[in-house]
Chains A and B, each alone.
Chain A
Amino acid sequence: SQQGEEDPQALSIQEGENATMNCSYKTSINNLQWYRQNSGRGLVHLILIRSNEREKHSGRLRVTLDTSKKSSSLLITASRAADTASYFCATDIQGGSEKLVFGKGTKLTVNP
């Protein structure tokens, strides 16, 4: 089964609204990363949060990490049509040695 699972699988919102995506994982991690993938393109790294961090910001992105619940959330504030993409969480497993494990992704649609 997947190490990381995003929720919801799909999300549709209006421009200007906030979008929240969640990720749950099973085993202890060194860090958790979020990536964006536009249709037909490669993944783009958005943000990395270490296991000893609880919250991190980058522009309109806010990521939280709760290691006790083995979960993370990605919040995109004031969404834009250009934010339409799939978003993946990826966990760097402790002792995993280079094997970053990706979830199945959340498909976000921002309607203008």
Chain B
Amino acid sequence: NAGVTQTPKFQVLKTGQSMTLQCAQDMNHNSMYWYRQDPGMGLRLIYYSASEGTTDKGEVPNGYNVSRLNKREFSLRLESAAPSQTSVYFCASSVWTGRYFGPGTRLTVT
């Protein structure tokens, strides 16, 4: 039981490049989330998916798209990366007792 896994762990992009962050969970959770964490800030919700086939915007969705591929997988896409998207990205899944987080992807956009 791996919990929540994320790939890649680290990524450096040039401004304007695109990439997809992958997330998978093996706990059969319905809800999945993408957060970003910036220095001195709490986590901010980018997008979430309450169930397979549905996605909704969070607090900071601009510049991102998501896909809930199936119940296990929830990907985050940056179509045209900007330096303001330099951050640590966390995927999470949940049951009513709380969120389970992945180890994070550290993204730098130069």
* Interfacial residues, chain A to chain B (CB-CB below 8 A): 2, 4, 33, 35, 40-45, 48, 88, 90, 97-105
Contact = CB atoms under 8 A, between A and B. Distances in A.
B104 A42 contact: yes
Nearest to B40: A104
13 contacts: A33-B98, A33-B99, A35-B98, A41-B104, A42-B102, A43-B99, A43-B101, A48-B97, A98-B33, A99-B48, A99-B59, A103-B42, A104-B42
Contacts, number: 54
B45 A99 contact: yes
User: Chain A contact residues: over half helix, strand or loop, or mixed?
Assistant: strand
Contacts of A41: 103-104
B2 interface: no
Nearest to B48: A98
A45 B3 CA distance: 13
A44 B101 contact: yes
Interface in B93-110: 97-104
Given A98-B31, A98-B48, A99-B58, A45 B100 contact: yes
Interface residues of B, number: 25
Leading 4 A-B pairs by shortest Cβ distance: A45-B98, A42-B101, A102-B42, A102-B43
Contacts of B50: 97-98
Contacts of A97: 50
Contacts of A45: 97-100
B74 interface: no
Given A42-B104, A45-B100, 12 more contacts: A2-B42, A41-B104, A42-B90, A43-B90, A45-B99, A48-B97, A97-B50, A98-B31, A98-B50, A99-B45, A99-B58, A102-B35
